[in-house]
Amino acid sequence: EVQLVESGGGLVKPGGSLRLSCAASGFTFSSYSMNWVRQAPGKGLEWVSSISSSSSYIYYADSVKGRFTISRDNAKNSLYLQMNSLRAEDTAVYYCARSPTVTDWFDPWGQGTLVTVSS
Amino acid sequence: QSVLTQPPSVSGAPGQRVTISCTGSSSNIGAGYDVHWYQQLPGTAPKLLIYGNSNRPSGVPDRFSGSKSGTSASLAITGLQAEDEADYYCQSYDSSRWVFGGGTKLTVL
């Protein structure tokens, strides 16, 4: 069974940092692009970042560029999101999701991990 | 303000047909990029419903269908059921970034 499990969320103060992880299982992780999408409380979906299978292509939303860094470790079947200089508006549930290629659909999605930025 | 525009809400009675529109522009849907649709049931993660404009993943009932024309796309749901009550999102590609619609809440009356 294909499974994505996020971890690393929590409460952090404005200006702080957090590193999210996404553990993949049930498929050949190194063959797929991966993505992070977030959803603020009561709001819609917002794409955050994407990384190609070999990390050759990396993209960020303007709202996080320069503050967030996406990475992956194909040997560990893991995806990461390093989040620095966090702001209140970064408060959201963060989902990781798989794509056949960097321009394809997202499927499946993990269950999400909540990040709360508050003093 | 989302790059892709969806109606905030739609509703229909059980058994009826509803459609949800997704309007983009010449830099995303109109540029030829595919549209994908997701269903998000309350308190759960989004689930892929339609990919590549009109394709259904395995396990998605054929009551759900998608189409695309010009700078817009549509999701149609026929034979509405109570379990279809959820938020629906469209997605496309635009200038090295992914864009989502603002979401449409479907209420089954």
What is the number of other CB atoms lying within 10 angstroms of the CB of residue A91? 17
Min CA distance, A11 vs chain B (Å)? 20
Query: B15-30: b or e for each residue (b if 16 or more CB lie within 10 Å)?
Result: eeebebbbbbbeebbe
pLDDT tier, A28 (very low <50, low <70, confident <90, very high otherwise): very high
| Interval A71-83 mean pLDDT | 98
CA geometry: angle at A69 spanning A68 and A72, to 5°?
Answer: 145
Q: Which residue has the tokens 């991990």?
A: A113
pLDDT of residue A103: 83
Whether pLDDT at B28 is above 90:
yes
Closest Cβ–Cβ partner in A37, A106, A110 for B48: A106
Yes or no, beta carbons of A106 and B102 under 8 Å apart:
no
Whether pLDDT at B1 is above 90:
no
Yes or no, beta carbons of A47 and B100 under 8 Å apart:
yes
pLDDT of residue A82: 98
| Interval B86-90 mean pLDDT | 98
pLDDT of residue B86: 97
Closest Cβ–Cβ partner in A44, A50, A109 for B100: A44
CA gap A112, A110 in Å, rounded: 5
Which residues of A fall within a CB distance of 8 Å from B52? 105
pLDDT of residue A78: 98
* Helix, coil or strand: residue B83: helix
pLDDT tier, B95 (very low <50, low <70, confident <90, very high otherwise): confident
Q: Tell me the CA distances in angstroms from B73 to A67, B36, B39, B59, one per residue in order.
A: 33, 9, 15, 22
CA geometry: angle at B6 spanning A110 and A96, to 5°?
Answer: 15
Which residues of B fall within a CB distance of 8 Å from A37? 46, 100
Whether pLDDT at A99 is above 90:
yes
Instruction: Evaluate whether A75 touches A91 at the Cβ level (below 8 Å).
Output: no
Assess B32–A contact: CB distance below 8 Å, yes or no: no
CA gap B65, A68 in Å, rounded: 36
| Interval B83-109 mean pLDDT | 96
pLDDT tier, A101 (very low <50, low <70, confident <90, very high otherwise): confident
pLDDT of residue A59: 95
Yes or no, beta carbons of B98 and A112 under 8 Å apart:
no
Whether pLDDT at A102 is above 90:
no
pLDDT of residue B96: 85
pLDDT of residue B71: 97
CA gap B23, B11 in Å, rounded: 19
Instruction: Evaluate whether A10 touches A21 at the Cβ level (below 8 Å).
Output: no
